[in-house]
Amino acid sequence: MWGGRGPELRRRGALLLISSALVLGALGVACGRAESVDCGPEDQRGSFLPSLPAGTARLAIDPAFDPISRESILQVVETWNQLGSTIVGRSFFAAQASGGIPRSMPVGPQDCDGVAGSSEQFSVQLDSSDASQPGSRWVSLGLNSSNPAVTIRCYEGSNLQKQVVLINARYVLPAQFRSVVLHELGHAVGLDHSCQMGEGSGDWVGCQGLGNEHPYVSAVMFPYLRMGNGSGLGAVEIKENLQFNDQIRVGCRYQNR
């Protein structure tokens, strides 16, 4: 939703620097654009999304998740709540069984009518659509097999209207499930990626050219997660802890709120 007016989809292309990686998505369905935040590193000031409203958002966990996945989601919720409590004095999410929030059934990236819930209650949903099948949800959303998950957010002006996190069981490695959910709930909180595809811009640096030790690369909100290359070279990347850069961006997102 940056740099344009009206509904807009931001797509994530293939990663050039890492041969095999998951691309962690955020689709923004916007009738407006988020504001830059005058806080934190200058080259990340444009990296924010509309925040959650005041209070604690109810987060419904799809009953289709298996018990291990459900426990992982609960742990991620606790991770975000601990950070929120420490930095900005609030718990972001209250996890609950799915009751009360209908299933979201978006048929395209602009389909906010297909997203259930409100800014104060949303769901983490299991998807198993096949990206090789034309017409499947993943294809309809503009995603592919390198996208294990997506957070779809709908806005009115610069206010969050509703959102849903979709996790595709076909494309998330079990070892990376918790890492992926941690990243997606970062979008749900109101963070876009720590760096953006391509060259970037003055207030939101591009990911290319950042070294492996760069704090934006080690951040949970970096848009890629290495899967390894299948030949024993390159480890499956795990990111289950929020990093300093993620923390300061949360502080910036919720400053003076």
- Nearer to Zn ion (CB atom), residue 77 or residue 197: 197
Specify the stretch interacting with Zn ion by CB under 5 A; choose among 19-27, 62-70, 98-106, 111-119. 19-27
Residue 26 interacting with Zn ion (CB under 5 A): yes
The C-alpha angle with vertex 71 and arms to 70 and 76, in degrees rounded to 5, equals 100
Helices (H) and strands (E) in the chain, counts: 5, 10
Please state the closest distance from residue 24 (CB atom) to Zn ion, in A: 4
22, amino acid identity: L
Judge contact between 117 and 62, C-beta under 8 A: no
Residue 182 interacting with Zn ion (CB under 5 A): no
- Nearer to Zn ion (CB atom), residue 115 or residue 165: 165
Give the pair of three-digit tokens for residue 255.
Answer: 């400053």
- Nearer to Zn ion (CB atom), residue 62 or residue 184: 184
Which residues, listed in sequence order, are joined to residue 206 by a DSSP beta bridge? 196
- Nearer to Zn ion (CB atom), residue 83 or residue 219: 219
Specify the stretch interacting with Zn ion by CB under 5 A; choose among 22-30, 61-69, 92-100, 238-246. 22-30
Residue 24 interacting with Zn ion (CB under 5 A): yes
- Nearer to Zn ion (CB atom), residue 137 or residue 183: 183
Q: Is 6 exposed, middle or buried (0-12, 13-18, 19+ CB in 10 A)?
A: exposed
Please state the closest distance from residue 193 (CB atom) to Zn ion, in A: 6
Which residues, listed in sequence order, are joined to residue 226 by a DSSP beta bridge? 21
Of the candidates 51, 82, 14, 3, the residue with the CA atom closest to the CA atom of residue 223 = 14
User: Total residues contacting Zn ion (rule CB under 5 A)?
Assistant: 2
Provide the binding-site residues for Zn ion, judged by CB under 5 A.
24, 26
